[in-house]
Amino acid sequence: MPIMSYIEAVTAALREEMERDEKVFLLGEDVGKKGGVFKATQGLYEQFGEERVIDAPLAESAIAGVGIGAAMYGMRPVCEIQFADFIMPAVNQIISEAAKIRYRSNNDWNCPITIRAPFGGGVHGALYHSQSVEAVFANQPGLKIVIPSTPYDVKGLLKAAIRDDDPVLFFEHKRAYRLIKGEVPADDYVLPIGKADVKLEGDDITVITYGLCVHFALQAAERLEKDGISVHLLDLRTVYPLDQEAIIEAASKTGKVLLVTEDNKEGSVMSEVSAIIAEHCLFDLDAPIKRLAGPDVPAMPFAPTMEKFFMMNAEKIEKAMRELAEF
């Protein structure tokens, strides 16, 4: 099976979907000739031409809004927002339009758009090239939000997003782009949106997370294993709507739950995960639910000292895991 980087899996999924269905087209800043600022769309302009790999004017609301129009017509647009931090001008289009089109038209119209955006920190991106923005959208019924952690999941979930009949926000961790590699089947496969994935089966503590933090948690779990502490690790993969069943099952299994996100703590996706566990698993819990998250400051600073302080890593997770195991 070929080994691919996380970003190569993005490109592969886009290429295969464009080859499969001529209604799929790409729209975004620098996605054409340049192949994207991260090179996620490299080679696609040459293969599919400027009519299907469109360099949009620098205006995010139009990137989303034009995509929404095309999707309502019946196309399968994949719009790229260059950095998740820059999605804010498009929030009205995403929340007031894409999320509500099926509902407000009583199922007459729908909006099968995929909006991709690199998010997350640890790349010296400072305040406006590091943010996690999923919580902004994670209480908007009508939207689906996918955040894959592995190249295998990237390909299968991005294909699923493109084929989905409703709007999907697809957030890719930019530090994972070249850091994370893994096996990706060359054949066509899709993974179900809305389903979490058990990465480790364990008995002592449960860790629930998503995105790059899955890898930090795996590293930490490996260290704990040497000391005889067994970790059950759940990768959410879809952060809205949440896979409640999988969350309840994972939390109940060990009764000690650590929730990890790189996002600011208050109002994060993990706050909702915590609420689900509190509602359903109270009598299975052996310790208070613990959230490990970024601090509640506006965003990640530029200086390496402060960036490291904000950013999640395996050491922080390991420390929190040990505390929970000892509780």
Partner 1 sequence: MPKNRHQSLGLTDQDVLNMYETMLLARKVDERMWLLNRAGKIPFVISCQGHEGAQVGAAFALDKTKDYILPYYRDVGVVLHFGMTVKELMLSAFAKAEDPNSGGRQMPGHFGQKKNRIVTGSSPVTTQVPHAAGIALAGKIDKKDFVTFVSFGEGSSNQGDFHEGANFAGVHKLPVILMCENNQYAISVPIQKQLACEKVSDRAAGYGMHGVTVDGNDPLEVYKVVKEARERAVRGEGPTLVETLVHRLTPHSSDDDDRSYRTKEEIEEAKKKDPIYTFASYLKEIGLLTEELEQNMQTKIASIIDEATDYAENAPYAAPEHALKHVYGN
Task: Enumerate binding residues for partner 1 (CB under 8 A).
Answer: 25, 51-52, 54, 56-57, 59, 61-62, 64-75, 77, 89, 92-93, 96-97, 100-110, 141-142, 144, 164-166
CB of 71 to partner 1, least distance (A): 7
CB of 110 to partner 1, least distance (A): 6
Q: Considering the complex, state which of residue 163 and residue 181 has its C-beta at the smaller distance from partner 1.
A: 163
CB of 105 to partner 1, least distance (A): 4
Pairing relation of β-strands 24-28 and 76-80? parallel
**What gap in Å lies between CA 35 and CA 277, rounded to an integer?**
43
Q: List residues bridging with 232 in a β-sheet.
A: 206
Q: Considering the complex, state which of residue 67 and residue 156 has its C-beta at the smaller distance from partner 1.
A: 67
CB of 98 to partner 1, least distance (A): 10
Query: Of all residues in the chain, what percent are helix, strand and coil, respectively (each to 5)?
Result: 40, 20, 40
**What gap in Å lies between CA 153 and CA 144, rounded to an integer?**
16
Max CA distance (Å), the chain = 59
CB of 112 to partner 1, least distance (A): 9
Q: Considering the complex, state which of residue 82 and residue 209 has its C-beta at the smaller distance from partner 1.
A: 82
Q: Is the dihedral of CA 148, 152, 154, 157 positive or negative?
A: negative
Q: Considering the complex, state which of residue 59 and residue 278 has its C-beta at the smaller distance from partner 1.
A: 59
Residues marked active site are found at 129
Q: Considering the complex, state which of residue 94 and residue 231 has its C-beta at the smaller distance from partner 1.
A: 94
Which are the contacts of 252, defined by CB distance < 8 A and separation ≥ 6? Answer: 281, 284
**What gap in Å lies between CA 188 and CA 70, rounded to an integer?**
25
Pairing relation of β-strands 238-240 and 144-146? antiparallel
**What gap in Å lies between CA 115 and CA 94, rounded to an integer?**
9
CB of 101 to partner 1, least distance (A): 6
Q: Considering the complex, state which of residue 53 and residue 220 has its C-beta at the smaller distance from partner 1.
A: 53
DSSP per-residue letters across 127-171:
TTSS---HHHHTT-BTBEEE---SHHHHHHHHHHHHH-SS-EEEE
Distances in Å between the Cα of 6 and the Cα atoms of 152, 153, 176, 230, 239 are: 8, 9, 6, 28, 19
- CB atoms closer than 10 angstroms to residue 46: 11
